[in-house]
Every structure is written in C-alpha cells, then in structure tokens.
Amino acid sequence: MTPEEHIALALRALPTPPTGWVEAAKELPATRRELETILERVDRDEQFRQRAIADLEATLVAEGVEPTSVVVAHLRRRLEP
Amino acid sequence: MNAATDAELVSRCRGGDADAWAELVERYARYVYAIAARVYRLGPEDAEDVFQEVFSRAFERLDTLRDDQALRPWLAQTTRNCAVDTLRRSGREVAVEEVPEEIDEGLARLDEALTVHAALDRLAPECREILDRFFRRDESYRTISAELELPAGTVASRIARCLTRLRDVLEPGRKPPPPPSGEKVGERR
C-alpha cells in the first residue's frame, strides 16, 4: 500500500454522522438554557412539576422544547425524588 | 488555514462561546460516531444515545478537564464508557470484554484517521473539497465531475495531487514529490 493509499484509507475511516445528531449536539448550549428555565419552573410551580412527572415529553412539547433523549434523560434525573 | 487548537477551543467554550462549542462538535463528531458505530458496532438508536450523551457530558464537564489538550483522549474514553454501559444494559457486555485488542486496534486506527482529517483542514479549499467529496461523502467521479464542472480525468488527477499535498502536510520533512503523473487513486466510476 502506498502512503497515499494509506491516507485515503484513513480519510474513509471516519463516517459522517447523521446531520440531525450533529446539529442537536451543537445546540446544547441553547438547549441547556431552556432546560434551566424549565427546571426553575419545576422548582416553583408544583402543578407544572406534577404535569412534567406525569408526561414529560408532552410537557416539553407544550413548552416548545424538543424532547430529545438527552433532554428527557437529564430532566428525569432532576425530577426524581 | 489556522484552525484553533483543542486547548483554545476548550478555553473559548468555558467562556460561553457558542461558536467555539459548535466547532468542537464539528471537529469530533465523526470520531465519537465512529467509536460508537464502528468500534463498538452499536445500532443507530444506541449510537445516537451515546453520541448525544458524550457531547452532553463534555459540555457539562469541560471545566473539570485537567489538561485542555487532552480533549481527544477524554472524548475517546467517555465514548468507550458510554458504549460499554449501553452494551451492558443490553446484555452484550461479555462480547466486548472478549475482544479488547480489537477495540484498542479500532481506536488506534480512528486516532490516526482523526489526525489525517485534521490535516485536511490545512489544505487549499479546492483540495479540501474534492477529497471531502470523494473520501468522506463517498461521491463518485461522475457526481464530482458534474458538481464541480470538471472533466472526470481532471477529478482523478486532482484527487491524486491533493492526496500528495495532504501527505506533505502530514510529513512536513519529506522531499518534494516528482511532478504528478495523473495517477488515479481509487476505481470508483
């Protein structure tokens, strides 16, 4: 194998992840700010907290936040008693 | 092109620079994905969960990184941990533990690949684009030829020439190569 072929192999070794995954990761700073807003509300609004515990995904959608797996997992951890 | 070092990116991310965070994600997205999907062979759903979890942890814990230049090994280790946790939850952990050498070899190959990809950023735009299209996006000569409005033969010779330039970037002390002979690399149509 020539050095150029070796380089070509290396270039092919890293596949492109789906665009949506990369965009979601890039938006983490903004997503985190939204999460903090939601968590503040969870802390001061018991009704909202109960709604979130009962159906977290629907509550997030109603608040205009996409319920991605990371967002849901993060909030579930924080909602646990 | 002078790309920011990892340490510079990490420092800017700590200061709340969203553009730096986006650049960090762009730089390591393929690497994290390849570890999850190729080395640990996770399916799409599990790979996505690992991918998002790794960047989520990175975002949360950048402040605790002891050496800003150690971002790459830190991401690799975090991806490994997340992937193994995922396999453990699905009952496939034993299969992973049986082949540690294979995992280590896979990671070593990806580390080398990441170095080559980083060097790509130091090439002229025309070289970056054609190598990206051919090797990373897996486009055919025909597609590249149509998109860039170049004869197919020019596409082939430019790929060969740009690979040589990439080699020069990776091996800066190397003697200059002889003039390009139009050698074709790859046999895609």
What is the rounded distance in angstroms from the CA atom of residue B111 to the CA atom of residue B31?
8
Q: In this model, does residue B12 exceed pLDDT 70?
A: yes
pLDDT at B29: 96
Q: Do B1 and B93 share a domain, yes or no?
A: yes
- Are both B90 and B4 inside the same structural domain? yes
Percentage of residues of chain B with pLDDT beyond 70: 86
Q: Provide the domain limits for residue B31.
A: 1-100
Which of B66, B85, B100 is the last residue before a domain boundary?
A: B100
Residue B113 lies in a domain: no
Residues B93 and B17 in one domain: yes
Kindly list the residues from chain A whose CB atom is less than 8 angstroms away from the CB atom of residue B117.
Answer: 10-11, 14
Q: Please count the structural domains in chain B.
A: 2
Residue reference for tokens 């000569």: B141
Nearest residue in B to A33, CA atom: B16
Residues B18 and B67 in one domain: yes
Alpha-carbon gap, residue B107 to B79, rounded angstroms: 11
Q: Is residue B153 pLDDT above 50, yes or no?
A: yes
* Average confidence score pLDDT of chain B: 85
Contact B174, B167 (CB under 8 A): yes
- With beta carbons under 8 A apart, name residues in chain B contacting A74: 56
ipTM of the complex: 0.76
For residues A24-51, give the mean pLDDT. Answer: 88
pLDDT for residue B93: 58
pLDDT at A70: 72
Contacts of B92 (CB under 8 A, 6+ apart): none
Taking the CA of residue B149 and the nearest CA in chain A, the distance in Å comes to 23
| A21 to B30: CB separation less than 8 angstroms, yes or no | no
- Angle, helices B6-14 vs B18-34, to 10°: value is 130
Among the ranges A10-19, A61-70, B84-93, which has the highest mean pLDDT value?
A: A10-19
Range picked from A12-26, A65-79, B23-37, B90-104 for highest mean pLDDT: B23-37
Contacts of B145 (CB under 8 A, 6+ apart): B151, B152, B154, B155
pLDDT exceeds cutoff 90 at A37: no
Mutate to test the interface with B, among A1, A5, A6, A11 (most CBs of B within 10 A): A11
**B135 and B186 share a domain?**
yes
Residue B27, pLDDT score: 93
- Round to whole Å and give the CA distance between B80 and B68: 20
pLDDT digits (tens, 9 = 90+) for B169-186: 988 876 655 554 444 444
Query: What distance in Å separates residue A11's CA from the closest CA in chain B?
Result: 6
Please state, in angstroms and rounded to a whole number, the distance separating the CA atoms of residues B36 and B24: 18
Tens of pLDDT along A12-23? 888 889 999 999
Within this chain, do residues B87 and B141 fall inside the same structural domain, yes or no? no
Does some domain include residue B151? yes
> Would you call A25 and B117 a contact, using CB atoms and an 8 Å cutoff?
no
For A4, which of B31, B59, B185 is closest by C-beta distance?
A: B185
How do residues B97-136 score in pLDDT, each as one tens digit? 556 677 888 888 899 999 998 898 889 999 999 998 998 8
For A69, B32, B63, B112, the CA distances from B120, given in Å and listed in that order, are 33, 18, 29, 13
CATH number, domain of B185, equals 1.10.10
